[in-house]
Amino acid sequence: MNTHTLIDGKAAAARVLVQVRKDVDRLREQAIQPALAVILVGGDPASQVYVRNKILRAEEVGIRSVEHRLTTDTSTEQLLNLIASLNADRSIHGILLQLPLPAHIDELRALQAIDPDKDVDGFHSENVGGLSQGRAVLAPCTPSGCLYLLEQTCGDLRGKHAVVIGRSNIVGKPMAALLLQADCSVTVLHSRSPNPQALCRQADIVIAAVGRPRLIDASWLKPGAVVIDVGINRIDDDGRSRLVGDVDFDSALTQVAAITPVPGGVGPMTIAFLMKNTVTAALNQHQAQRSQSEAVCHSIY
Ligand code: NAP
């Protein structure tokens, strides 16, 4: 029988959050209270759950959270005004704009309006560009969490062939950039890739970020592959609603060396890395303010 490791995202996220808590305590000793502003526009039920979980987790690690709930009919201009005021507020270190936004709002304009230093989701083009140049930036939370799980599971990733299935701006593309930085050879598959199974079967590491329930079964996987399933899909299973990933978990188990479950795999890592990014943003902003005031002192004397 094939032996495999179940990659425990809850336990890994808990380890990340212990470190975040220590970092928050150190910042508080310097009279810096890390703070995250969360903006939710409209009443999308899934978004409300995500926002509630993010705020709860922030409280647990000592990050101050400020929630801004806007009605569905909020205009792009009104949202931009709120973002501008949060950008200017020195007591706020991270700004999270919960997606998706109502269709009438210009999502790109709103994301680009967030100060890149406070862009804890890593979606601003300055952070996206920095990531593709290999600079240290606020990187998107879900791919950062996946990379952490891979490093914990595989150790050295250098030279491994990673196949990323999906090329979204939120998951697939930044995931590919992070894996390249980790010296993997990276293949990115999408809906126009011919014969994706054959390409995927060559992978040491598979990241599935497709949004198609159980698309990837054993026939896509080489024996001993490590699989990270980003997908979260709600399905009706004999009249019972439940969450499944993009990977057919039971089928994949016959091939893999290690795999994340859904739920309990990547999901908890996303929130943990949001907290980590908020603390990083607070530290960066504090250091930038300190060097600014030192520069002013030098120019005076
Ligand atoms: P998305 O924006 O819809 O992108 C899906 C990608 O999959 C697209 O690039 C698409 O290709 C590709 N694709 C679709 N069908 C395919 C097929 N048959 N073969 C190969 N590629 C195919 O989705 P996303 O935002 O990246 O999210 C992906 C999944 O991850 C969703 O289930 C989402 O709920 C989940 N998610 C989970 C977390 C978490 O915290 N765990 C966070 C974010 C997202 P084209 O570009 O050609 O259309």
**Residue range 161-182, pLDDT digits in tens:** 999 999 999 999 999 999 999 9
pLDDT digits (tens, 9 = 90+) for 124-146: 999 999 999 999 889 999 999 99
| Atom nearest to 193 CA in ligand 1 | 20
143 lines ligand 1 (CB under 6 A): no
Looking at the chain, the whole-number percentage of residues with pLDDT higher than 90 is 93
CATH 3.40.50.720 maps onto the chain at 141-267
- What's the length of the chain? 301
pLDDT of residue 239: 93
- Distance between CA atoms of 15 and 113, rounded to whole angstroms? 33
Report the separation in Å between the CA atom of 59 and the middle of ligand 1, taken as the mean of its atom positions: 30
pTM of the model: 0.96
270 lines ligand 1 (CB under 6 A): yes
191 lines ligand 1 (CB under 6 A): yes
Under CATH, to which class is 31-116+123-129 assigned? Answer: alpha beta
| Atom nearest to 172 CA in ligand 1 | 26
Phi–psi pair at 74, nearest 5 degrees:
-60, 135
pLDDT digits (tens, 9 = 90+) for 282-298: 999 999 988 877 776 66
Pairing of strands 226-229, 205-208: parallel
Q: What SS3 state is found at 116?
A: helix
pLDDT of residue 2: 67
Report the separation in Å between the CA atom of 213 and the middle of ligand 1, taken as the mean of its atom positions: 11
211 lines ligand 1 (CB under 6 A): yes
User: 141-267 has which fold?
Assistant: Rossmann fold (3.40.50)
Burial class for 8, CB neighbours closer than 10 Å (0-12, 13-18, 19+) = middle
| Atom nearest to 269 CA in ligand 1 | 40
Phi–psi pair at 204, nearest 5 degrees:
-80, -35
